[in-house]
Structure 1
Amino acid sequence: MENTFLSKITIVLSIWFFAAGSVSADMNNEASCKRVNETFRVGETVNYTVYYHWGAVWMRAGEVEFEVKDSKINGKDVLHVVASGRTIRRYDWFFKVRDVYETYIQPETMMPLRFKRDIYEGGYTIFSDYKFDRNNNKVAVEHEDWKTPRYKDTLEIGDCTQDVLSAIYYARTLDFEGVSIGDTIGLEIFLEDKLYNVYIRYLGKERIRTEHGRYNCIKFSALLLEGTVFEGGEDMMVWVTDDENRIPVLIEAPIKVGSIKAILTDAKGTAKPIDYSSGRRR
């Protein structure tokens, strides 16, 4: 899996959000994986500051924004989610990052119909465009990067396969009932022409403090397959607001060199009011 700035953050977030579902759900069964969205809406924007840890120092390295828009595919309404990540300007001279991920989601099923990403990191570029055929469980892939000429291919996927960005929003619609401490669940994400299986574990509830305030949270760890951008093991930790919005507040994860941390800085346009009695709005 490509070691890209926004890949790290979107994978971290999508892994948590699948944990929000009931462990009894069959994620490979088409009937059970179709969802109705009452959790988020067009106009929602969520922002994070990303820190990189190397040695004894945490450095403010970048910013990530997730925005929900409306759009159309083949004349039908879809949810258009855009995630953009960038290094802060004072680091651009050293390693400039400008990443954009997009997914187009069928609102009546919460299944992705198209996924795009356009990545620029320190002079290295990646472009991907996936068009999902949900009727035939196939995806048409178009891809090129700094070392690979543009190519096209058609690959098989499962009934419930998500892209790395749509997974975040899909899982926010899942039922939280039935999850007990220690429960685990597997999920399948399509990225870079492959299906990746990752696993999460529910660890209970905690009240945490960030630089922006205190929050009542739900805590998870993730068991990641060795060989991705992450090391193998269950070292990634995620704390999420214990409310109907299910928005991550703090994410900490080891990577191949050092570790990263993402902290929630703002959330606007949410479908339901955020309880800021557990944290304070800046």
Structure 2
Amino acid sequence: MKKSIILSALLALLLLAAPAHAGLKPPYGPGEKLTYAIYWTFIHAGDAVLEVMPDTEVDGVPARLFRAEAKTTPWVDKFYKVRDTMESWTDRDVTHSLRYQKDQNEGTYHKKVDLIFDKDLDMSFRWVRGELKHTLEQPEDVFDPMSVLFSFRKAVLYKTMRFSSHVTDGKKSVVGEAYVEGLEDVETPMGVIRAFKVNLDIKHLSGVFKKSRDAELVVWFSADARRIPVKVRSKVKVGHFSLELVDYRPPDKTTD
């Protein structure tokens, strides 16, 4: 088990490029919960959960809150315990980020990041362990590594579709790109799901992706109005890893 594999797997699911379909109504809302099993080669190494939390506010601005958790399985905990949490706040229509937090706990390594966006100044401020580390000019509508996934899910997909969006981790701001290759049937613990196969451009990704020759990253989204990410597959220097959807809970009926 290599350092950051669990977090890399979760970020692979989140680091997506979002097309410009800001006017479309999101196919999700508070109460939605997606549960994944994380595999490193053929080993069940961890689990991840993505949730849309109850709507809230950020400095008086109505906000949508997304939360992700990743953890190693009990047998992996014995020699390398991982407990990572990410939270992202956007405006209610999910057109730009307001705030992003990451609490990373991997073995003896611990790090807390707080990324704050000032839309009036088109700036972001990145705090690490309580200390301001980076200030960065940002495009008008930029997403953090988590909220960009949910922005993407607003788009109606079709074969040969290409798209891009501004994404930032607070240290650098890049334009992510992706391509819809086509439709496939994906086997999951929930049954066979018809899904769009989406290839991600990984040239801007760091860590294990940057160090890997011929690295690749593919995500499958259900070919229905929900556009659920049902599977992620990647090839990196330390082997193959994947995420597979094992459970899905729809949004509360009383929410948007």
* 1:202 to 2:190 alignment: no
1:66–1:84 CA contact under 8 A, matched in 2: yes
* 1:136 to 2:94 alignment: no
Structure 2 CA distance for partners of 1:137 and 1:35, relative to 1, 3 Å: farther
Aligned equivalents of 2:104, 2:124: Cα separation in 1: 21
Structure 2 CA distance for partners of 1:162 and 1:252, relative to 1, 3 Å: same
- In angstroms, what is the RMSD of aligned CA positions? 2.4
- Counterpart of 2:32 in structure 1 is 44
Please list, as runs of the form range in 1=range in 2, the aligned pairs for 1:93-172 lying within 5 A after superposition: 93-144=78-129, 150-172=131-153
How far residue 78 of structure 1 moved from its aligned partner, in angstroms, is 1.2
1:6–1:84 CA contact under 8 A, matched in 2: no
- Counterpart of 2:225 in structure 1 is 244
- Of 92-101 and 63-72, the range deviating more from structure 2: 63-72
- Of 77-86 and 35-44, the range deviating more from structure 2: 35-44
Please list, as runs of the form range in 1=range in 2, the aligned pairs for 1:49-64 lying within 5 A after superposition: 49-53=37-41, 58-64=42-48
Write the letter of the residue equivalent to 2:186: I
- Of 105-114 and 231-240, the range deviating more from structure 2: 231-240
How far residue 151 of structure 1 moved from its aligned partner, in angstroms, is 3.4
How far residue 143 of structure 1 moved from its aligned partner, in angstroms, is 1.2
Q: Deviations over 1:238-268 (max 9, x none)?
A: 2211101111111101223112110001111
Taking structure 1 as the reference length, what is the TM-score of the superposition?
0.79
The percent identity for this pair of structures is 24
Aligned equivalents of 2:170, 2:119: Cα separation in 1: 18
Aligned equivalents of 1:227, 1:164: Cα separation in 2: 11
Aligned equivalents of 2:166, 2:4: Cα separation in 1: 19
Q: Deviations over 1:182-204 (max 9, x none)?
A: x4333332115112343222111
How far residue 269 of structure 1 moved from its aligned partner, in angstroms, is 2.5
Structure 2 CA distance for partners of 1:207 and 1:38, relative to 1, 3 Å: same
Aligned equivalents of 2:186, 2:87: Cα separation in 1: 31
Aligned equivalents of 2:5, 2:127: Cα separation in 1: 18
* Count of equivalent residues: 247
Taking structure 2 as the reference length, what is the TM-score of the superposition?
0.86
1:81–1:103 CA contact under 8 A, matched in 2: yes
Q: Deviations over 1:192-241 (max 9, x none)?
A: 51123432221111112234321111111122117623136573222211
Structure 2 CA distance for partners of 1:103 and 1:226, relative to 1, 3 Å: closer
- Counterpart of 1:270 in structure 2 is 251
Write the letter of the residue equivalent to 2:178: I
Structure 2 CA distance for partners of 1:109 and 1:270, relative to 1, 3 Å: closer
* 1:91 to 2:91 alignment: no
Moved over 6 A (4+): none
- Of 71-80 and 227-236, the range deviating more from structure 2: 227-236
Structure 2 CA distance for partners of 1:135 and 1:174, relative to 1, 3 Å: farther
